Structure 1
């Protein structure tokens, strides 16, 4: 049984691809029937099995695949040949203020990976400010966003 549908009248063009907003067709995990999700290019990007979901304004395209119990959320852009699978707990973001590269947060150990950097949110903020004021402010905003989202999610449990 399918767990979501593609909304043909709610699309966006990203990287030259048409992406469709998803809508839940049944309850699963924290998602309720009728909830709107993020955007995907096709059903190949998001499994109908498990609790996998694309949330908020996040988008997934090309050969990227989200499945198992994984989720992509926020304003994450997930494309290429990337995979997020069962029991993975990554949040993927894109650095759109300088390099354009992707960076990740791992929920299970609360660690950040940006290029060669791997460390805590506070360490990331300190390193980013040492690089530039703009990078510091941007990474600090992402760290605070994740902290706030985790507080909200912990309040649901």
Structure 2
């Protein structure tokens, strides 16, 4: 009986150890999953070889948008700091700033001197451009555009075909959607503007 118990205990310890190693090596605590990339090399005696490239692994990240893990990278900001996650399908200009906890996914674009920071999310086909700022826990998605010197922050959401531009501010719990246009020096702090 004690031999069987010892085998079961050893089996449980090995299983736990392998799970911990898998989480540390493969899973990461930030949602990233390294994936080996390969390159072709020619060996004089063996011919063409497919070689795993361990120096620059491809990364995948789950943006929590229902698409599961997708190829992604961390944005490197102009100051050299490591920014947030950017899906391979999204575009972020070198001149744009993406904070370490911010995320850009789908076919979204962040260009010019735009800033996406805090826990902000830009996804879908959304555009953030010019000197626009999206920060806090704000979300810009769908085919929405935020441009000029506009700011979207707090837990505000701009989506569908909505546009926020000029010097407008959308903050607090405000939602701008459908084909709404918010511009000039308008400040929205709450309500649905659709």
* TM-score normalised over the length of structure 2: 0.41
User: Which is greater in Rg?
Assistant: 2
- Structure showing greater relative contact order (alpha-carbon pairs closer than 8 Å, 6 or more residues apart): 1
* TM-score normalised over the length of structure 1: 0.49
